[in-house]
C-alpha cells in the first residue's frame, strides 16, 4: 500500500472529522424521505399547504430529525439540469432551516416554471420558517 502524502485529507494523523458538528446542518439519509411508500403516505394523509406557489405536504412525527422529500417532474422543467437545480435549491433551504422545524416530514412540490435561483432559495428559507403542520 502506498503511504498517504503529507497534507492529504486521508492522512491517518488527521483522523476522521467530528461528525457531531456537521450533523446539525447535514442532510444525510436520516433526513430524507425515501421510498415510494413514504411519499404516498404523505400525499394521502399529510396536511397540504400552498405557500407562494409551493405546495407543502407535512406530517408531524413523535421524534427524530425533520425529513424532506422533493417532488419535481418534467412538467416543472423539461431539462434535467433545471430539475436538478430546483432540487438542490429546495434541499439547501431545508438544510439551513431544519433546526427550527422539529420532528416533521415535509414533501415539497415547486410551482411549474420555477427557476432554481438565489431568490428562490431565500424565498424557500422564509417559507420553511412559516411552516407548521
Q: Which domains does the chain have, with CATH numbers?
A: 50-130 (3.30.230.10)
> Quick check: 132 pLDDT over 90?
no
> Quick check: 113 pLDDT over 50?
yes
**pLDDT band (50, 70, 90) for residue 110:** very high
Give the residue-averaged pLDDT of 85-106: 91
* Tens-place pLDDT, residues 30-55: 788 988 998 999 999 999 999 989 99
Q: Identify the bridge partners of residue 54 per DSSP, sorted by sequence position.
A: 51
Residue 11 is predicted with a pLDDT of: 44
Q: What is the mean pLDDT of the chain?
A: 83
C-beta separation of 65 from 30 below 8 A:
yes
Phi, then psi, of 21 in degrees rounded to 5? -75, -30
Phi, then psi, of 11 in degrees rounded to 5? -65, 140
> Quick check: 25 pLDDT over 70?
no
d(CA 70, CA 60): 17
Residue 133 is predicted with a pLDDT of: 56
Residue 16 is predicted with a pLDDT of: 47
Residue 7 is predicted with a pLDDT of: 52
- Cα-Cα-Cα-Cα dihedral sign, residues 72, 101, 99, 67: negative
Give the residue-averaged pLDDT of 10-26: 51
Neighbours of 73 (CB within 10 A): 9
- Report the percentage of the chain scoring pLDDT > 90: 53
Amino acid at each position: 500500500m502506498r503511504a498517504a502524502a503529507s497534507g492529504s485529507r486521508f492522512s491517518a494523523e488527521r483522523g476522521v472529522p467530528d461528525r457531531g458538528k456537521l450533523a446539525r446542518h447535514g442532510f444525510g439519509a436520516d433526513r430524507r424521505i425515501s421510498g415510494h411508500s413514504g411519499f404516498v403516505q404523505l400525499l394521502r394523509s399529510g396536511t397540504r399547504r400552498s405557500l407562494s406557489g409551493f405546495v407543502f405536504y407535512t406530517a408531524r412525527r413523535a421524534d427524530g430529525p425533520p425529513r424532506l422529500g422533493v417532488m419535481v417532474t418534467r412538467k416543472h422543467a423539461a431539462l434535467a439540469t433545471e430539475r436538478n437545480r430546483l432540487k438542490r435549491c429546495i434541499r439547501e433551504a431545508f438544510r439551513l432551516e431544519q433546526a427550527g422545524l422539529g420532528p416533521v416530514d415535509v414533501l415539497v412540490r415547486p410551482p411549474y416554471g420555477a427557476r432554481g435561483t438565489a431568490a428562490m432559495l431565500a424565498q424557500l428559507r422564509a417559507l420553511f420558517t412559516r411552516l407548521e403542520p
